[in-house]
């Protein structure tokens, strides 16, 4: 996890593992990610996306907002 914190300070992925499948689908689609697959697939896809830090400042702000809500 330290590596993810280094690349992307301020955003974590722990909240993803406490969300149900329907929430994960909605969040994935909001960021243009595939919403198909098993819960484990969705969690991995979202975690990889967040840790990649390959998104706009607006997307980062939205992710921070979602994280704070959960």
Q: Measured in Å, how far apart are the chain's first and last C-alpha atoms?
A: 19
Domains in the chain (CATH in brackets) are: 14-69 (1.10.720)
Closest CA to 21 of 45, 53, 50: 45
pLDDT in tens, 41-51: 999 999 999 99
pLDDT in tens, 49-63: 999 988 999 999 999
Q: What pLDDT score does 17 carry?
A: 94
pLDDT band at 65 (very low <50, low <70, confident <90, very high): very high
What pTM, to 2 d.p., does this model score? 0.81
Closest CA to 10 of 55, 50, 58, 45: 50
């Amino acid at each position: 996890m330290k590596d993810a914190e280094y690349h992307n300070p301020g955003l974590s992925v722990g909240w993803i593992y406490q969300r149900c499948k329907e929430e994960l689908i909605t969040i994935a689609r909001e960021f243009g990610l595939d919403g198909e697959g098993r819960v484990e697939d969705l969690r991995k896809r979202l975690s990889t996306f967040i840790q990649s830090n390959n998104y706009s400042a607006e997307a980062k702000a939205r992710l921070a907002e979602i994280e704070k809500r959960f």
